[in-house]
Amino acid sequence: MKNMAAVVHHTLTPGGVELREHPVPEIGPDDVLLAVRGVSVCGSDVHQYHNSHSWRVNVPVVLGHEFGGEIARAGREVSAFREGDRVVSETAAVICGTCAYCRSGEYNLCPKRMGFGYGVDGAMAQYVKVAARCLHRLPKSVTFERASLTEPCCVAYNACVVKSRIRPGDTVVVFGPGPIGLLCLQMAKLCGPGRLAMVGVEADRERLEVAKKLGADAAIAGDPMTWIRETGDGLGADVVIDAAGVSQTLRASLDVVRPGGQITKVGWGPQPLGFSLDPLVQKAVTLTGSFSHTYKTWEAVLALLENGAMNLDSIVGAVEPLEKWQSAFDAMYSRQVIKAVLTPLQ
């Protein structure tokens, strides 16, 4: 088999994505050729489709960085995995391996890091080349459709568990009921907060109902300050997770957070701030950025998926074959579904 079907971002213009015949990847001695069984659509894929992204993309490139599958072939130096193994993959497709971050295990911060789907070919295809160091074994109880959400679960785990200081009894507010926000809500819930709120806008009403099902004590469309003033001592949230990706939510986060509290920003947004950060200083707030994930995060998340701690059925709204990629993208863009999953190989 020399060619395969793949969803290719081929030009930096709106709509510059199409299903194409694409060469099956050639693997090196430390790689595996992965037969993709499930790849979920990320908001970043949709942004690239509409050419509204704020990061560099090496076109042409196969989209897709949230995926799992079965090993079709392993390179001669790969000893930890073999043909037929069920695995999921991290997103740091290329790292230098020698910088201070790589050597200390923080390879997600490697200056030369390139990810699947924008830096190198991703997994919206029948096969993808993956470095064996990126792989994790998939528990038997986890389907490939749900396994494709391991990566966004890892993003949420890093934001809520690794980067944030959520303690039992804390008041926690999550802005943005998108896929990452709803997963952050679940991760925050596992940390044992005393009060947990999800905040969105009027257009998020349906997703806010999902947030209630996932454990939110309050699901607020609009200004959360009334809830904040009536909650606990009224001084604000101990931790705010900004998963909305627009500048205005950072401003709202500064209003909501209590003095000495923490804001963790995981949502991307290229807009300029346009407001003062003086409240950050006046309240002595800790502002933390959260990006990607590392090996330990993946192992922890896979354990959570294995024991059923994460509700992914409420997140996945569509499962489509690869050739229906455009309808899956459009369903996410129009907010008909929270998350769509493509199944390149059955």
pLDDT in tens, 153-195: 999 999 999 999 999 999 999 999 999 999 999 999 999 999 9
pLDDT score of 346 more than 70:
no
Query: Do 180 and 205 belong to one domain?
Result: yes
In a domain, 89, yes or no: yes
In a domain, 170, yes or no: yes
Report pLDDT digits (tens) over 267-322: 988 788 889 999 999 999 999 999 999 999 999 999 999 999 999 999 999 999 99
Q: Residues 6 or more apart from 224 whose CB is under 8 A from it?
A: 173, 197, 199, 218, 252, 256
pLDDT score of 5 more than 70:
yes
Query: Do 118 and 199 belong to one domain?
Result: no
Report pLDDT digits (tens) over 230-277: 999 999 999 999 999 788 999 999 999 999 999 999 998 878 888 999
pLDDT at 246: 87
What's the whole-model pTM score?
0.97
Q: What is the DSSP string of 267-297?
A: ----S---S--HHHHHTT-EEEE-----HHH
In a domain, 80, yes or no: yes
List the structure tokens of 48: 């690239």
Query: Do 25 and 110 belong to one domain?
Result: yes
DSSP letter at 122 equals: -
Query: Do 173 and 276 belong to one domain?
Result: yes
β-strands 3-9, 61-62 pairing = antiparallel
Query: Do 216 and 81 belong to one domain?
Result: no
In a domain, 67, yes or no: yes
In a domain, 297, yes or no: no
Coil, helix or strand at residue 314: coil
Query: Do 171 and 284 belong to one domain?
Result: yes
Query: Do 59 and 107 belong to one domain?
Result: yes
Rounded CA gap, 337 and 332, in Å? 5
Query: Do 176 and 41 belong to one domain?
Result: no
* Helix residue ranges, H only, the chain: 43-49, 100-103, 144-147, 150-157, 179-190, 205-213, 225-229, 247-256, 278-282, 295-306, 325-333
Q: Of 247, 252, 143, give the one whose Cα is nearest residue 197.
A: 252
Query: Do 168 and 110 belong to one domain?
Result: no
Domain containing residue 185: CATH number: 3.40.50.720
Q: Which of 246, 274, 289 finishes a domain?
A: 289
pLDDT at 268: 86
**Residue 230, φ and ψ in degrees, nearest 5:** -95, 5
Average pLDDT over the chain, rounded to an integer: 97
Q: Of 169, 211, 175, 219, give the one whose Cα is nearest residue 194.
A: 169
pLDDT at 269: 80
Rounded CA gap, 174 and 185, in Å? 7
DSSP letter at 203 equals: G
Query: Do 268 and 317 belong to one domain?
Result: no
Q: How many CB atoms lie under 10 A from the CB of residue 167?
A: 13
In a domain, 248, yes or no: yes
- Domain carrying residue 46: 3-149+312-343
- Please state the domain count of the chain: 2
Give percent of the chain above pLDDT 70: 99
Rounded CA gap, 278 and 129, in Å? 47
CB 134 within 8 A of CB 92: yes
Reported as a pLDDT band with limits 50, 70 and 90, residue 54 is confident
CA Rg value for the chain: 20
Query: Residue 239: exposed, middle, or buried by beta-carbon count in 10 A (0-12, 13-18, 19+)?
Result: buried
Query: Do 276 and 172 belong to one domain?
Result: yes
CB 133 within 8 A of CB 184: no
List the structure tokens of 278: 């003086």
Name the CA dihedral angle for 253, 254, 260, 264, rounded to a multiple of 10 degrees.
Answer: 40
CB 81 within 8 A of CB 74: yes
Query: Do 145 and 182 belong to one domain?
Result: no
Mean pLDDT (whole number) for 117-134:
98
Query: Residue 271: exposed, middle, or buried by beta-carbon count in 10 A (0-12, 13-18, 19+)?
Result: exposed
